[in-house]
């Protein structure tokens, strides 16, 4: 079974802090994704990566950056956290290919920015 592990289930940070959310997958998947989930809005794609050091913007990249130095790890960075970034963040991975591939998700990180 694919295991996608997010480093924290709950995180509380202050406005202006630099925040790192970490995600690790153990199945050698090429693709990795970061989403945020908000009530009434479903899941929205922030960034995705299809290879080491490769990244592409999703639908809502503003205020975020990502890093993928190793195949199994994909980090989401909030450069200067703001209260409107309080949300549930979900990481996912999938095999090489496009949107025909099922994505496998982590448990999520519930981030609160005070």
Which residues would be at the binding site for other proteins (CB under 8 A)?
9, 31, 33, 40-45, 48, 50, 56, 58, 88, 90, 92, 98-100, 102-108, 110
Q: 42 or 53, CB closer to other proteins?
A: 42
Q: 75 or 109, CB closer to other proteins?
A: 109
CA dihedral sign, ordered 23, 27, 29, 33? negative
Nearest to 74 by CA among 1, 4, 10: 4
Q: Whole-number minimum distance, CB 64 to other proteins, in Å?
A: 16
The maximal CA–CA distance of the chain, rounded, in angstroms, is: 39
């Amino acid at each position: 079974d694919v295991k996608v592990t997010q480093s924290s289930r709950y995180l509380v940070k202050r406005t202006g802090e630099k925040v790192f959310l970490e995600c690790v997958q153990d199945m050698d998947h090429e693709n990795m994704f970061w989403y945020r989930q908000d009530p009434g809005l479903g899941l929205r794609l922030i960034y995705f990566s299809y290879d080491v050091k490769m990244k592409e913007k999703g639908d809502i990249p503003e205020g975020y950056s990502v890093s993928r130095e190793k195949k199994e790890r994909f980090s989401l960075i909030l450069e200067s956290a703001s209260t409107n970034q309080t949300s549930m963040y979900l990481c996912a991975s999938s095999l090489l290919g496009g949107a025909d591939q099922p994505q496998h998700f982590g448990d999520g990180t519930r981030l609160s920015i005070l």
